[in-house]
Amino acid sequence: MSTPSFSFAPIELPESASRLRTEVREFLAAEQKAGNFTPGAAGWSRVDPEFSRHLGARGWLGMTWPKKYGGHERTALERYVVIEELLVAGAPMRGHWAADRQLGPLLLEFGSEEQRQRYLPEIAAGRCLVAIGLSEPDSGSDLAAIRTKATKVDGGWRVEGRKIWTSLAHRAQVTSLFVRTEPKGENRHAGVSRFLVDMSSPGITVRPIINMTGEHDFNEVIFDDLFVPDDMVVGAVGGAWSQMGKDLAYERSAPDRWLACHDLLLQTIDRVGPKPDIAQSEALGRLVAHLWTLQNMSLSIAGMLEAGANPNVEASIVKDLGTRYDQEIPQIARTLVPEHMRGDPAHQRFEESLRHNLLFAPAVTIRGGTTEILRNTIARALGLR
Amino acid sequence: MSTMREILVDSAARLFGDLCTNEVHARAEKGARQSELWEQLDASGLPQATVSEARGGAGADPGDALAVIREMGAACLPAPLAETMLAELLLAAAGLPPRSGPLTVGPVLKGEKLSLARRGKEWEISGTLHRVPWARHAHALVVVTQVDGEWATAVVERPAITEPGMNYANEPRDNVQFKALRLPQDAVAVGGGCLTAARLIALGALFRSVAMAGAMKSVFNMTLRYAQEREQFGRTIGKFQSIQHQIAILASQLSAASAAADTVIAAAANGEASFEIAAAKTRIGEAAGIAAGIAHQVHAAMGFTYEHPLHRSTRRLWSWRDEFGSEAEWSAWIGGVVAQLGAKGLWPFLTSAQKTIPA
């Protein structure tokens, strides 16, 4: 890993990207007018397969992929602008999120021609919901500790094991599954493979795990004698660890990392109104200064990715700063709008947002790499580990 | 960064490193005049970085001048380099001729006013300015004030100090008083492009923000090095996870400050950048406090000594985050803008290249 430069060069967006911003805003206004989506407390973090198909039809999924796989051959900066606009508007993005951001790029880089032709056009059309099967009961941050194992059989693999915290497994067509194809040896990272699992296969049980907000988002997924054919292994058998490169930078630096509680920021601005007192001005002004900084950092990383760099550490920094900013929003909203100012039905939207985001906020510094793991990554890049 | 700017920044960093000897710092801390230091700086041409070609300068773009100020912050250069550049910005806007430095500017405190009036062919200036940076060493103080509702710029030669003061880093911050002081006709410009007092404070905030980003880089470098050298319990303290995580937070705050500095430098090269300046001073000021705190905790008692150079940077961070408006003042200003924009207006505003501040 290269020593981080801490340099986040400002990006001047090309004209095409600025035009796209306007196009996305017009599209969203039309979708909202047509009743196809309503901004809500959960922001972008909602599933709406119909909306995902609309995005696919507009050419805003698989944007950077080759046309022969249903992609649109746009630049990484153009894609950045589109997803940023959609996330900020609180459009329902979860239905295609993992597919468009993680599985698609993974298949483009490591998948077989057959896998690409089978999945990429479906993802780009917004018709393929993907779950990512990583964590297990004894394997959270320590991913190499997974026990779900695959045994070689004629024509494929037999899978036994258990995944937990698998978001949307109950709605997914495909799960991108991390499995041990060789027992753990001295090199803990060896012998792990990536399988594509058709969720309609026999041998899969999905059990809901209700989260503390009362919602069903993640699941326990049990594999009991599941058969996965050879042609559903991504890349080399045993090579899954080395496939995790740039996708971490994409995952950790994207604007979703500082837009989890954006709806509450907006609701608080509206609730406080045009004549804020000094405490309200200071608190909201500070949050917006953070938002401005984070946006420029994410945009800068999009520029690095476009230029072919691998800004893994910079991305960890953005996720650490972004998720902690997100977590501050409900804590600040509750002090700016104290309890005696609540309970008025006219401001129900603010209160829904405060409730949802306050309860949801603990998740943002856990999912996709905990704060502690991110700081280990940063420290390692600095030569301290 | 353009290649030209990289060359400029490299040479500035090298020069500042050579100039900032322990002796120079020791003399500066006592508030002594440092003619030799200024002569060497002057010879480099850097104090004239904001003088345009049309005004007989090298015509550096504002981004280049700010990149130099970042290096000044990193080196803790004890000289009024930023103030001399700011003075030229005021003079140029007013159409007054450029001056050789060291120069300074005022008022630097919000709400402070001077009175300026015509007396025949001359002008008369009265009033008190507090905490004027480097005033005791300045060949001239360039002030902004109003005359009959119009903004004016005036040049006061060798301002008289009524009370010397200093910031936490012992940089001079002096009180200056004018008692019906006569100024020649050509020392004053009224109207036209003269900058306002609010604009001077915003420009000061811009220069301090960028200087803080530079100082934070030095604080980070010293802290990382110290954690890799200092041994306790049989290993370097950087091997302890608690220290690693503190340094990771410091690195993240430095990154945020660097990104904010880079962005505001680019914005200031293309326009007024009022919002960007406010956001940068707010974000970098906050990062400065966190960074300085972590740096001292990691350095422990060693960093608390006068002998260790850490305090040169941290005392500047604590000073500069307050000067030309603290995070509290600038965030409140942003909050006022956001309240006018409303939730709907916020994002279109943040993503527009030229941000029009709502009335």
pLDDT, tens digit (0-9, with 9 covering 90-100), for B156-180: 999 999 999 999 999 999 999 999 9
Q: Average pLDDT of A225-240?
A: 97
Q: Average pLDDT of B238-250?
A: 98
Q: pLDDT above 70 covers what percent of chain B? A: 99
Q: By the CB < 8 Å criterion, does A15 face chain B?
A: no
Closest partner residue to B328 among A21, A272, A282, by Cβ? Answer: A282
Q: What is the pLDDT of residues B195-232, one digit of tens each?
A: 999 999 999 999 999 999 999 999 999 999 999 999 99
Asked if A379 and B244 come within 8 Å (Cβ–Cβ), the reply is: yes
Lowest-confidence pick of A77-81, A139-143, B248-252? A139-143
Q: What is the pLDDT of residue A3?
A: 55
Closest partner residue to A21 among B228, B258, B351, by Cβ? Answer: B351
Asked if A276 and B335 come within 8 Å (Cβ–Cβ), the reply is: yes
Q: Could you check whether the bond before residue B47 is cis, i.e. omega within 30 degrees of 0?
A: no
Q: What is the pLDDT of residue A6?
A: 74
Domains within chain A, CATH numbers bracketed: 15-129 (1.10.540.10), 132-239 (2.40.110.10), 246-381 (1.20.140.10)
Instruction: Decide: helix, strand or coil at residue A143.
Output: helix
Asked if A276 and B336 come within 8 Å (Cβ–Cβ), the reply is: yes
Q: pLDDT above 70 covers what percent of chain A? A: 98
Give which of A19, A268, A280, A317 to mutate to test B binding, by max B Cβ within 10 Å. A317
Per-residue b/e over B156-188, b at no fewer than 16 CB within 10 Å?
Answer: beebebeeebebebbbbbbebebeebebeeebb
pLDDT of B1 > 70? The answer is no
Give which of A267, A282, A325, A336 to mutate to test B binding, by max B Cβ within 10 Å. A282
CB pairs under 8 A between A and B: 161
- A272 contacts in chain B (CB < 8 Å): 339
Q: What is the pLDDT of residue B339?
A: 98
Asked if B262 and A297 come within 8 Å (Cβ–Cβ), the reply is: no
Asked if B262 and A385 come within 8 Å (Cβ–Cβ), the reply is: no
Q: What is the pLDDT of residues A344-372, one digit of tens each?
A: 899 999 999 999 999 999 999 999 889 99
Q: By the CB < 8 Å criterion, does A28 face chain B?
A: no
Q: What is the pLDDT of residues A156-176, one digit of tens each?
A: 999 999 999 999 999 999 999
Q: By the CB < 8 Å criterion, does A33 face chain B?
A: no
Q: What is the pLDDT of residues A106-161, one digit of tens each?
A: 999 999 999 999 999 999 999 999 999 999 999 988 989 999 999 999 999 999 99
Other Cβ atoms within 10 Å of A170 Cβ, number: 16
Count of residues making up chain A: 385
Structure confidence at residue A4 as a pLDDT band (50, 70, 90): low
Asked if B332 and A378 come within 8 Å (Cβ–Cβ), the reply is: no
Q: What is the pLDDT of residues B41-68, one digit of tens each?
A: 999 999 988 898 889 887 777 899 999 9
Structure confidence at residue A2 as a pLDDT band (50, 70, 90): very low
Structure confidence at residue A254 as a pLDDT band (50, 70, 90): confident
Q: By the CB < 8 Å criterion, does A242 face chain B?
A: no
pLDDT of A250 > 80? The answer is no
- A283 contacts in chain B (CB < 8 Å): 331, 335
Q: Average pLDDT of A280-285?
A: 98
In sequence order, what are the residues at sequence separation of 6 or more whose Cβ sits closer than 8 angstroms to the Cβ of residue B352?
none
Q: What is the pLDDT of residue A124?
A: 98
Q: By the CB < 8 Å criterion, does A281 face chain B?
A: yes
Closest partner residue to A297 among B259, B266, B279, by Cβ? Answer: B259
Q: Could you report the predicted ipTM of this complex, rounded to two decimals?
A: 0.97
| Closest chain A residue by Cα to residue B278 | A289
Q: What is the pLDDT of residue A139?
A: 92
Cβ distance A378 to A320 under 8 Å?
yes
- What's the token pair of residue A339? 């309890």
Asked if A7 and B343 come within 8 Å (Cβ–Cβ), the reply is: no
With a CB-CB cutoff of 8 Å, which residues 52-91 of chain A face chain B? 88
Q: What is the pLDDT of residue A7?
A: 81
Q: What is the pLDDT of residue B3?
A: 83
Closest partner residue to A293 among B220, B283, B351, by Cβ? Answer: B283
- A10 contacts in chain B (CB < 8 Å): 262-263, 265-266
Q: What is the pLDDT of residues B102-114, one digit of tens each?
A: 999 999 999 999 9
- What's the token pair of residue A146? 């997974």
Closest partner residue to B262 among A10, A283, A291, by Cβ? Answer: A10
pLDDT of A1 > 60? The answer is no
Closest partner residue to A384 among B238, B265, B282, by Cβ? Answer: B238
Q: What is the pLDDT of residues A23-74, one digit of tens each?
A: 999 999 999 999 999 999 998 999 999 999 999 999 999 999 999 999 999 9
Asked if B224 and A382 come within 8 Å (Cβ–Cβ), the reply is: yes
Q: What is the pLDDT of residues A5-26, one digit of tens each?
A: 678 888 888 899 989 999 999 9
| Closest chain A residue by Cα to residue B337 | A285
Q: What is the pLDDT of residue A141?
A: 87
Q: What is the pLDDT of residue B2?
A: 76
Structure confidence at residue B33 as a pLDDT band (50, 70, 90): confident
- How many helices (H) does chain A have, and how many strands (E)? 13, 8
Domains within chain B, CATH numbers bracketed: 3-190 (2.40.110.10), 197-350 (1.20.140.10)
Mean pLDDT of chain A: 94
Q: By the CB < 8 Å criterion, does A375 face chain B?
A: yes
Q: Average pLDDT of A198-206?
A: 98
Q: What is the pLDDT of residue A138?
A: 92
Calpha distance A187→B87 (Å, rounded)? 63
Per-residue b/e over B109-140, b at no fewer than 16 CB within 10 Å?
Answer: eeebebebeeeeeebbbebebbbbbbbbbbbb
